[in-house]
Amino acid sequence: MALADTSLILFDGMRSALDSWAARFQGERELLYWLLRLKVSEIAGDTYREESRVPQDLRGPLAALRQRTDSYWGDIRYAALEPVTQLWGTIVNAVRVAAQSGRATDVQKRTFDIPAASLVTFFLAARERMEVADSLYHAFKAMPAPECQALGALLNVHVDARLDAGTMIRLVRLLDHEGPMSPEETEDLAAISKTHLVDAAFSGLRAHA
């Protein structure tokens, strides 16, 4: 499949992240790893080989997860999206659900209920190769959607912030919500403002209540 420049950056970046996840972070024991790996193999046209590598004890839960996500992306509103958009859209939706964003729909909550720890490990793996992480960072920074800005910040290897579940959730929650900040969000901002994550993600903040 021929991919446009940005799509190619996102596709190659995902493959690199998955390779690092398997090599450095035991990714092959994670459902999210296999969900993404099989989506990559669909795009590359080599699904059968990858399916045969899935550990036996993960095949049942993975089949159920794939059924839910395939049904979600099969909706007429999303079916026309590029496969690479659906690939990274899985990460966007899973991060939004993990952060308990008000923008997460009930369907997304049921479909993309992925442990925050698994998502953090994905981002750590994506940041293993600086040149790959940097290309992904710049690709997402060019996209105005708040969730893309969040992904860009989380992939920025030059930010002096320890990447953990709490940091990821605070950042996504701040970017994803609208309107005046709640007291909880104000605390989130105070916590991540001690790093350069805020500058990496966006230049303006929503007004305080």
Q: What pLDDT is stored for residue 205 in this prediction?
A: 41
Spans of all domains in the chain: 5-201
Q: What is the pLDDT tens value at each position of the chain, 209 positions in all?
A: 445 589 999 999 999 999 999 999 999 999 999 999 999 998 888 777 788 899 999 999 999 999 999 999 998 788 788 889 999 999 999 999 999 988 899 999 999 999 999 999 999 999 999 999 999 999 998 888 888 888 988 898 887 668 889 888 888 887 775 555 566 766 666 666 555 555 545 444 444 33
Distance from C-alpha of 178 to C-alpha of 157, rounded to nearest angstrom: 27
Q: What pLDDT is stored for residue 167 in this prediction?
A: 86
Predicted model pTM: 0.83
> Over the chain, what HEC string results?
CCCCHHHHHHHHHHHHHHHHHHHHCCHHHCHHHHHHHHHHHHHHCCHHHHHCCCCHHHHHHHHHHHHHHHHHHCCCCCCCCCHHHHHHHHHHHHHHHHCCCCCCCHHHHHHCCCCHHHHHHHHHHHCCCHHHHHHHHHHHHCCCCHHHHHHHHHCCCCCCCCCCHHHHHHHHHHHHCCCCECHHHHHHHHHHCCCCHHHHHCCCCCCEC
CA R_g for the chain: 17
Burial (CB count <10 Å: 0-12, 13-18, 19+), residue 15: middle
Which residues share a beta bridge with 208? 181
Q: Which residues, 6+ apart, have CB-to-CB distance to 172 below 8 Å? A: 95, 96, 98, 99, 101, 147, 150
Q: Is the dihedral of CA 183, 185, 188, 189 positive or negative?
A: negative
Which residues share a beta bridge with 181? 208
Q: What pLDDT is stored for residue 1 in this prediction?
A: 44
